Amino acid sequence: MTETSIVTLSAASQAQLDPPQAKPTALTPDLLEASATVWDSPDGRTSVGVWECSKGSFTARRDGYTEICQLLAGSVTVDTDGGSSVTLHAGDTLVMPDGWSGVWHVHEPVRKTYVIVNS
């Protein structure tokens, strides 16, 4: 594939993911996550993929990169450390800029597409 090739992901809500694994930053026992990378830029600065997580809570940090994601299924409340809280549902988009940190509370198993842009 060249840099100018088009990459498509049909039916991301049904895409095959890697086997679920324990979430390293879980606050809830037995929290599982799974993902699949769809595309990495040749310069290594950008990555696109699909991710899902079971019900529960986990901490998250975005150090050295920004993440843009769109929920395909489920619902979550995302609490920013020392700041705001937002509840998201399928169809909603979230941007977590470089330096963001907080807690995700997954109310229903969630699946999202994501774009990671390294700083």
What is the distance between the alpha carbons of residues 80 and 102, in angstroms, rounded to a whole number?
4
> Is pLDDT at 20 greater than 90 in this prediction?
yes
Residue-range domains of the chain with CATH? 39-118 (2.60.120.10)
Torsion sign across C-alpha atoms 16, 109, 96, 63: negative
Pairwise CA distance, residues 33 & 116, whole Å: 17
Which residues touch 2 (CB under 8 Å, ≥6 apart)? none
Segment 74-93, tens digit of pLDDT: 999 999 999 899 999 999 99
The Cβ-side half-sphere exposure at 28, using a 13 Å CA radius, reads: 14
Distances (CA, A) of 32 to 29, 77, 91, 96: 9, 17, 22, 21
Average pLDDT on 98-103 reads 98
At 3, the pLDDT band (50, 70, 90 cuts) reads: low
By C-alpha distance, which of 53, 58, 55 is closest to 72? 53
**pTM to 2 decimals?**
0.91
Q: Over the stretch 42-67, which tens digit does the pLDDT of each residue have?
A: 999 999 999 999 999 999 999 999 99
